[in-house]
Amino acid sequence: MIPRSRAEIPAATRIVVKVGSSSISGENAGQIGPLVDALATAHGRGAEVVLVSSGAIATGMPYLKLDERPTDLATQQAAASVGQNLLVFRYQDALDRYDIVAGQVLLTAGDLEHSTPRSNAQRAMDRLLALRILPIVNENDTVATHEIRFGDNDRLAALVAELIGAELLVLLSDVDALYTKPPHLPGAERIAHVPFGDALAGVEIGSVGRAGVGTGGAETKVSAARIAAESGAAVLITATPLVAEALAGREVGTWFDAAPEGRRAERREAGRHEAAGESALT
């Protein structure tokens, strides 16, 4: 059931949660435990849960003796190679308390842009969820190039939500909600609700995350929320420490309405025609 409000979140049966690098690395690595507690609670009530987690590069940086995020692709790939292993281990260590097994899924933008790898990814994710595995998704940084990168994991999370037909996407960060202007500025007001199609006119949206660690900001989250809402998922943007309250349906964060059913039906029909056209070309 696609939730129409926060109060209906506990009834959602397929949920994607995305967490950013700055929320689960460095001094915030301790937030992995409470995040897993919240995911396990949703899993325990029967929901199928997917975690899209940034943080491979940030987690690997100290082991490469790097003080800030590398700018060249090769070093990013090296840090991701080291960090991805450690990151998944930390998640699995926390999940062991609930007898939940994690499955690692690494994707590139190209995987979701072409029908065959996209179908393979969808089939694998569906099977993992049916087996009650908790997939942990990240961009495959060790093979992605600048030309085919998602750019940020907010967009990846939105595309994963679309891929698996999720009913809810929760985007977590360092900020508790979307504001009318950067929240540190005077006069900034929390935006509690964004109706479908609202252009957010007059809202000043920042484009940068925490310096030296993450790559996203409010701008990427709004863009991702619109992608997911268009595909039929409700979206909630809030802070990582509030994830338990968010998944319990409390009044936190910024809520984006999903597209109405008529709009979703049009999108599904367009997708079928697109898939048929691509199959005819291959």
Please give the structure tokens belonging to residue 94: 């926390």
Please give the structure tokens belonging to residue 266: 């049009």
Q: Hey, how many other C-beta atoms are within 10 angstroms of the C-beta on 225? A: 25
Which three-class secondary structure state does DSSP give residue 211? Answer: coil
Residue 153, marked binder: yes
Residue 173, marked binder: yes
Give strand pairing partners of 234.
168
Please give the structure tokens belonging to residue 87: 């990151």
Residue 174, marked binder: yes
* Ramachandran class of 46: left when φ > 0, alpha when ψ lies in -120 to 50, beta otherwise: left
State phi, psi for 237 to the nearest 5 degrees: -105, 125
- Distance of alpha carbon 146 from alpha carbon 281, whole angstroms: 27
- Distance of alpha carbon 102 from alpha carbon 111, whole angstroms: 21
DSSP assignment letter at 131: T
Residue 152, marked binder: no
Residues 57 and 21: beta-carbon distance below 8 Å = yes
The amino acid present at 193, given as its one-letter code, is: H
Residue 154, marked binder: no
Residues 249 and 7: beta-carbon distance below 8 Å = yes
- Distance of alpha carbon 10 from alpha carbon 4, whole angstroms: 12
Residue 141, marked binder: yes
Go through 49-82 and write b for each residue having 16 or more CB atoms within 10 A of its CB, e for each that does not.
Answer: bbbbbbbbbbbbbeeeebeebbeeeebbbbbbeb
Vertex 275, ends 272 and 278: CA angle to 5°?
Answer: 150
Residues of each annotated binding site: 18, 54, 141, 153, 173-174
Residues of each annotated binding site for substrate: 54, 141, 153
